[in-house]
Amino acid sequence: MSEIEEQLGEELATHVFVPVGVGSFAQAVNSHFRRQGRSTRVIGVEPDTAACLWKSLSGGASIAIETVPTIMAGLDCGTVSTTAWPILSKGLCASVTVSDFEAHCALVYLGSCGVSAGPCSGGPVAALRRLSPADRERLAIDWHSVIVLPCTEGARDYDIPLDVATDDPVALTQLLVQIDSAHLNEGSVPGSGDTAIARYIAAWLEHRDLECHWIETTPGRPSIVGVVRGTDGVQSITFNGHIDTVALVGYDNDPLSGTIENGKLYGRGAADMKCGVAAAMVALANSKQLALRGDVIFAGAADDLGSD
């Protein structure tokens, strides 16, 4: 905090976007910038898939959550520190979650500005960039604001994530096809399994604040269940589909292309059944706006036997 103050000189920070994780660093930032006589607004930032603070604030009490791996590995925490929780729950001005893809895009932007940083440092930049005009007005951010974005991680290698923002079922099908989810135990060449596509689906659901469950009774064969709760708990409806495919061998051209030619989408599993999975995911997300009486459930099964 002293280093930040030294760099600011005579200027006073109006806003600080701080990565949260377990909350210890965020607690220090909040305690420093919210001390008596200071009016700095502190905004917490977390990955969509590890938003233990955001979900605790939404529920009104500190809760433990199951996380899904994120490129922001230092923020992959399922429980807020018991020391940090009372301070953050009262001291933060706002809490924001961002996707891995948004953090990646923020790093690309930072790189173009000559700043070398790692994924955890991309989170605060991504959070600032995604604010709507209404968000900026609520947070009193304007051209006169002095915004601090702490860089907490140096540059490192990571797998470039896919975008989880699309709600178009065709574009979503293309993305799912591009993820290798060939069955682990089928064909002469073992596939990559369901883990990568399960992580993407979970991230897509969490980006929309949809209830998400990771079920892995067989190691390496995770299934994903998403739920939109109904108003009365009456009969539910389930969209069920398998997320794995057969082996990639024997497929002409690129089995993971997801290209569209002459109105047809190509790639392993495009028809069986990533198009159906994409449609089900979009239907689940859309149902959140309908206030239906019964639950709407999406089940992305790890094996086609589980979806029959």
Walk me through the domains of the chain, giving residue ranges and CATH numbers: 2-148 (3.40.50.1100), 169-307 (3.40.630.10)
Partner residues linked to 219 by β-bridges = none
For residue 37, name the pLDDT band (cuts at 50, 70, 90): confident
Confidence at residue 187, expressed as pLDDT on a 0 to 100 scale: 60
Per-residue model confidence as pLDDT tens digits over 82-97: 999 999 999 999 999 9
Confidence at residue 59, expressed as pLDDT on a 0 to 100 scale: 93
Mean pLDDT of the chain: 93
Contacts 24+ apart (CB under 8 A), 210-219: 210/284, 210/285, 210/288, 212/68, 213/66, 214/66, 214/68, 216/302, 218/302
For residue 189, name the pLDDT band (cuts at 50, 70, 90): low
Global pTM value: 0.92
